[in-house]
Every structure is written in structure tokens, then in C-alpha cells.
Amino acid sequence: MTLPPQHRRRLLVAGLGLVATGSSTAQARPIRLFVGAAAGTGIDIAARTYAAPFGAARGQPVVVVNRPSAGGVLAAETVAQAAPDGLTLLYSSLGPLAIAPQLVKPLPYHPITSFTHLARLASGGFAIAVPAASPARDIPGLVALLRDKGAAANYGSSQGSVAYQLAGAMLLGAIGGTAMHIAYRTTGEVVAAAESGALDFIVDLRTLLQPHHGAGGLRLLAVTSEDPDPGMPELPPLNRRYPGLVLESWVGFSAPRGLPAAEAARLEAAAQATLEDAGVREMLLRSGAAADWLPGSAFAAFVEAELLRLAGIADAAGLRPS
């Protein structure tokens, strides 16, 4: 049957309306941002701070989904197995993408080929501290102390991140020293042990150690970031004395493998817009991190380089399973 022209026009308009409505509905669907840490933790708070301006730039709501597990493996696995439709993202970081691959065998995803890495957003280092009563007043003093004590030297970190242990191992490797690593359940426990004089040095987040900096507590000596920490710029980066001795915690956004290039570009642009947000800038300053932008392809190359670099450090520290 041939429809009259006016009927054909009505159907065409109706069809266009359906297409427009479908597109609007898809755009309004929430993005799920998977975070490998519990709600209320520092990682979770940072992810939520990024989520708000990211959602605003995309014109979509962003729902943070917590999947806490050792090293963030569960969150990364969930995203790696999701559909590449731009609606499931990983708050990617050093833990699940560069450290877990050294320790977890078999890993349920590949840190490069299982993802479309969208952007690196920020990075920040860790702090090296000694007891306030330690004779070591700077890094050369700590090196002299460790060499003098030899195999009797020790250092500690909390179990919150293997990165702290790796940072200590990097320092020992740079000076050709040895020291026993002692793991504590929490930052509070490792700080208490250091303050009592039971440890020669410790590694943790600067923001967690700084309140103990001073007489009767700790003495912060240096940071492991490439540049000075904006919260304590007087602390020298270790790489000024030992070139290449850098270990930073970095964060970004990643999607499942197979995400269309056009959608990846849109998500990358929205991620970059978050770094202009006042709340994000304040959060970074408060946490001791700094904006450290890398677009998707450069971020993927960076993750691959970190994997290779940390493999050697983990081997030297005896952390990698045989």
C-alpha cells in the first residue's frame, strides 16, 4: 500500500523522534566507575572527587562502585570483563596495573591488552622517615646508618600498599645496602614502631607521616616522587641524589578492551576536564599529589614501562613468586 505524502511525513517525524529519544536515553545512562578500595578510604574519596566533574563533562551521572580487594584486582577484573560501551570504567592505579601483576599469578586480566587506557590524571610519591631520635638527619645520614648496621638494619611499612616496601627496596638497591622488611597491619602501627626506635626507617604516604614529624615522633627525610611534594616542598626527592630512584602512586581512567576510538576520545576529553575543577585541585594539594596528565596512548605506554621497571625491583626485593 502506498501512503499519502502527509502520512509518510508523519512517520518520518515519528521515526526521528524515536531515534532522538533513544540517543538521549543512552546518554543519560550512568557510568559505573569501579574502585578497588572500600568506601571512605583515601582512594575512594579521590575517585569520587574526580567522578563529579567527569560526569558533568560527559553530561552523564557517574556511580562509584567499590570492589575492595588486595591490590585492587577485583575491580580491575570486573572492568576487564565488561562490555566496551563506555559505561564501565576503572579508576586505574599503580596497584592493580603495575604491582599486582608482579605478585598475583595467574592474574585474571592483562594490564595492557585487557583495557583501553584513557588517561592518567595525577601522581604523587611517598615519604621516607626515621625516628626523631635517629642519628640520621638526612638521606646521607640514613645511608651511613644502614651501611654501618649492615644485616642488622630494618625498615617497615603498612600492609596497605606493597609500593611502600618497593620504595624501601629501591633505596637499598641504590646504596647497595641490606635491611629486613617488617610489615605492619596499619600505618598507625608502623609509625608507633618507628617512634619507639624499633625501626631504622619507614615508608608511607607523606600526608599520613607529616603529623608525626617533629620531636618525640618522626623525622621526614625525603620523598620518592620525581618532583618535590607541594605539601612539604622542603623534602628533597630521592632522585636528586640517586637518579632514576622514583616511585609514584598514579591514577587514571581505563575502559574495557575494544572501546570504539570515538568514544575513547570523548571519555579522554572529559577526563582532562576534571583537572580544571577547583575541588580536584584542592584534593590533589591536600593529598600530596599533583596533576600529571597523559592522554590514552601515552598512558598505555607508561603502564607498560612501569610493568617492566617494577618487575626488576620486585625481583631484587624477592617479592615475585617463582
> What is the grid cell recorded at 182?
617488617
The yes-or-no verdict on residue 322 having pLDDT over 70 is no
Query: Which residue ranges make up each domain of the chain?
Result: 30-124+249-316, 127-240
Maximum Cα interatomic distance, the chain, rounded to a whole number of Å: 97
23: confidence class by pLDDT, cuts 50, 70, 90:
very low
Q: In what order do the strands lie in the sheet with 218-223?
A: 180-184, 154-158, 201-204, 127-131, 218-223
Residue 78 dihedral angles phi and psi, to the nearest 5°: -60, -45
63 bridge partner residues? 32
Question: Mean pLDDT across the stretch 298-320?
Answer: 89
| pLDDT given for residue 79 in this prediction | 98
DSSP label of 57: H
Q: Which residue has the higher pLDDT, 292 or 160?
A: 292
pLDDT, one tens digit per residue, over 220-273 is: 999 999 999 988 999 999 999 999 999 999 999 999 999 999 999 999 999 999
The CATH label, of 3.30.465.10, 3.30.160.270, 3.90.550.10, 3.40.190.10, for the domain at 127-240 is 3.40.190.10
Q: How far apart are CA 188 and CA 101, in angstroms?
A: 28
Cell 560526569 identifies what position?
Answer: 55
* 127-240 and 30-124+249-316 share a CATH fold: yes
Strand arrangement of the beta sheet that strand 62-66 belongs to? 62-66, 31-35, 88-93, 248-256, 115-125, 290-295
SS3 at position 255: strand
Q: Residue 314: what pLDDT?
A: 85
Q: All 3 cell numbers of residue 39?
A: 568506601
Report the alpha-carbon distance of residue 290 to residue 162 in Å, rounded.
Answer: 21
Give CATH for domain 30-124+249-316.
3.40.190.150
Question: Structure pTM?
Answer: 0.86
Q: What is the pLDDT of residues 177-235, one digit of tens each?
A: 999 999 999 999 999 999 999 999 999 999 999 999 987 799 999 999 999 998 899 99
Task: Quickly state the pLDDT bin for 27 (edges 50, 70, 90).
Answer: low
